[in-house]
A and B are shown apart, each in its own frame.
Chain A
Amino acid sequence: MVIAEDSALIREGLARLIEETGGTVVAKVGDAPSFVAAVLEHRPDVSVVDVRMPPNQRDEGLRAAIEARRLVPGTPVLVLSQYVERQYATELLADGAGGVGYLLKDRVSDIAEFMDALHRVAGGGTALDPDVVAQLMVLRRRDDRLATLTPREREVLAAMAEGRTNLGVAKAMGITEGATEKHISSIFGKLELPETQTAHRRVLAVLAYLGS
């Protein structure tokens, strides 16, 4: 995998984390252009990018991630940031291909959660920060159909929007997979969303619903 992060402290910390859990870091870079170059050169299974990087310390990392995915379609990228913004998530997901993650940097401290998100992204899935999902849910609050969901179903919807699989949702909420499936089909019924096969398509459907 490729790591792009301008803070040496966090760059080394991430590398150590990944190597301790059995991954291999093929390139560690500190700015946006070398990130794009590293992705082109190594075609990694997954990359981790910081949003804020030299030269401008603005949203170079995000732009570089989008650029890398344009040059190498579908290359999985997990974007980390000190702040998450709904708009940035929308831009990242815009190409419709899977393998996208967007998390707060703090989430790295929960190693199990972080590795789960990383694997999901590497496998073509989605990992959206709960904070982004919360922003989306706030936007949709006035929707009557959303109001028909039970509190439990809302939690399940949020977990789905984060990109979790049925099993992931079940684990995160401490319920059985069967119960999760029941909740999900009830949600899709109430929101009148089409049932889809892959987890990523499901995320897109949920996000499209929340974001519209």
Chain B
Amino acid sequence: MMTTLKPSFATGPYRPGTLLRNFVLSPLDPASWRAAGAILMGLFIGTFSFALLAALFSTGGSFLIILVGFAVVGIGVEIARIVARVERWRMTLVDPRPLRAHTYRTYGHGLRAAAEAEFMDENRWRDVIYVLVSFPLTILEFVVCVAVWATSFGLLVSTLAYFVIAGAAGDRMPASLSNGAPIPLVAVAFVLGLFLLAVAASLSRGLMRLHRAVVEGLLCTNEREELRLRVETLRESRSAMLQVEATELRRIERDLHDGAQQRLVMLAIDLSLASDRIESDPAGAKALMSDAREQARQALAELRDLVRGSAPAILLDRGLVAALGSVAGRCPVPTIVESALAPGERQPHAVERAAYFVVSEALTNVAKHASATRCEIRCRREGDRLIVEVWDNGVGGAVTAPGGGLAGLRDRVEALDGVLLIDSPAGGPTLLHAEMPAAQGWPAA
């Protein structure tokens, strides 16, 4: 099958002999007939989709002001998307090399994001433009094709009929049937019919090749475009990642400066005062030393909390679920951990850290603001997504203010190509939902 199809789209060196042979034999190539069928099909698809879109867009357009119009236009855009899919398939009838659809924006969460995906997506509008462009093209293709095919069939059928009738009648053929045309003229008409048959076959394929170029240009992705998109996403997530790291470093720097560092300074002061006084005022020196010990103890505790906030030891040692159990155990609001992850299942460290950070920050918020009496941490994996949720029965009303703690969490999750959602109606309950890409079946470390 492949070998018979090959000439229809082979781009090898064109030798005049091959070209001529291909032309002469083109009516015998099934691809030519499929091309003719595809052009016929195209007429229906082109006309029908154009009419449908024209109706939807004009109706929708006149109702835009009452918003219903947007829905109608949206339906039109989606129909164009279906047409695009059908058209990509139609092109492969003649040339089986697959066409890869361009990518569409996903709807995301919320009405606004959905509307943006529907109406601001370049590729969705390319589908619509295609429907507009393809309508006159399909008509033109059809008309040209029908003219040539029909002429060729007409000539062939009539000349063949002439020969058949002439053969049957022998010498007694009535002069009226031949229209007085001499035999050589009929033979020329027959050859012309054969020639036009080859023209029609080659022309059908040529037109489909042109149409395919239009489809490739408007409805398909190519490697360069894909790479461009990939680079764009990578650049975005890299900059988000750097931002997250920078924020984290600033936080650590600030905590060290405000906490442990100050304590160590006090400790040094207490100790030098004590050594000055140790002979003149032993009791005072002793009190200073016990102060110094207290400062040291506090500094250690603060350092421990600082590290626990971002990269606790148990997370590295025992993984996410154990670390979540530990952080739940420290939360002043009664908190339970429900994990549907396999025991010992590990994720890439960056993912575990982000998930831990989200939960740990969420629990801090719950303890500070929610006035909750119950809190639940849930984690599970859905396919290649790791899902972590924190639920509490508190007062709700949590919002993501720019620069706030929740915005920081969102940045962190998005840096890993994840999604963070917060549902916190006034009066509660609050559900924080984080989704991150996960590796399936990572072995226990």
B239 in the interface, Cβ–Cβ < 8 Å? no
Contact B317 A58 (CB under 8 A): yes
Contact A135 B314 (CB under 8 A): no
A142 in the interface, Cβ–Cβ < 8 Å? yes
Contact with A along B286-303 (1 / 0, CB 8 A): 000000010011001100
A141 in the interface, Cβ–Cβ < 8 Å? yes
A85 partner, pick from B293, B297, B314, beta carbons under 8 A: B314
Within 8 A of B (CB), among A60-101: 81-83, 85-88
Interfacial chain A residues near B326, Cβ < 8 Å:
85-87, 135
Q: A138-B330, A139-B329, A142-B334 are in contact. Are A82 and B313 (CB under 8 A)?
A: yes
Interfacial chain B residues near A52, Cβ < 8 Å:
313
Contact B300 A106 (CB under 8 A): yes
Q: How far is the CB of B26 from chain A (nearest CB, A)?
A: 71
B329 partner, pick from A58, A86, A105, A109, beta carbons under 8 A: A86
Q: How far is the CB of B83 from chain A (nearest CB, A)?
A: 58
How long is the Cα–Cα vector from A49 to B341 in the complex, in angstroms?
32
Contact B293 A109 (CB under 8 A): yes
How long is the Cα–Cα vector from A123 to B431 in the complex, in angstroms?
50
Interfacial chain B residues near A51, Cβ < 8 Å:
313
B69 in the interface, Cβ–Cβ < 8 Å? no
B250 in the interface, Cβ–Cβ < 8 Å? no
Contact B317 A59 (CB under 8 A): yes
Considering the complex, give the chain B residue whose CB is closest to the CB of A52. Answer: B313
Please report the total number of B residues contacting A with Cβ < 8 Å.
22
Contact A87 B322 (CB under 8 A): yes
Considering the complex, give the chain A residue whose CB is closest to the CB of B374. Answer: A142
Q: How far is the CB of A132 from chain B (nearest CB, A)?
A: 10
How long is the Cα–Cα vector from A86 to B6 in the complex, in angstroms?
70
Q: How far is the CB of B272 from chain A (nearest CB, A)?
A: 19
Considering the complex, give the chain B residue whose CB is closest to the CB of A87. Answer: B322
How long is the Cα–Cα vector from A13 to B258 in the complex, in angstroms?
29
Within 8 A of B (CB), among A101-145: 105-106, 109-110, 135-136, 138-139, 141-142
B325 partner, pick from A87, A106, A142, beta carbons under 8 A: A87
Interfacial chain B residues near A59, Cβ < 8 Å:
313, 317-318
Contact A106 B301 (CB under 8 A): yes
How long is the Cα–Cα vector from A139 to B331 in the complex, in angstroms?
9
Q: A109-B293, A109-B297 are in contact. Are A141 and B334 (CB under 8 A)?
A: yes
A135 partner, pick from B316, B318, B330, beta carbons under 8 A: B330
B304 in the interface, Cβ–Cβ < 8 Å? yes
B61 in the interface, Cβ–Cβ < 8 Å? no
Contact with A along B303-342 (1 / 0, CB 8 A): 0100110001110111000100110011110100000000
Contact with A along B208-232 (1 / 0, CB 8 A): 0000000000000000000000000
Interfacial chain B residues near A86, Cβ < 8 Å:
325-326, 329
Q: How far is the CB of B444 from chain A (nearest CB, A)?
A: 13
How long is the Cα–Cα vector from A110 to B325 in the complex, in angstroms?
29
Considering the complex, give the chain A residue whose CB is closest to the CB of B301. Answer: A106
Contact B329 A83 (CB under 8 A): no
How long is the Cα–Cα vector from A211 to B330 in the complex, in angstroms?
14
Q: How far is the CB of A133 from chain B (nearest CB, A)?
A: 11
Contact B334 A58 (CB under 8 A): no
How long is the Cα–Cα vector from A141 to B325 in the complex, in angstroms?
15
Considering the complex, give the chain B residue whose CB is closest to the CB of A58. Answer: B317
Considering the complex, give the chain B residue whose CB is closest to the CB of A136. Answer: B329
9 contacts between A and B (CB under 8 A): A59-B317, A81-B313, A83-B308, A83-B314, A87-B314, A106-B300, A136-B329, A138-B331, A142-B334
- What 3 A-B pairs come out closest when comparing CB atoms? A135-B329, A59-B317, A106-B300
Beyond contacts A83-B304, A88-B314: 5 other A-B pairs, Cβ-Cβ < 8 A, are A83-B307, A83-B312, A87-B318, A138-B330, A142-B334
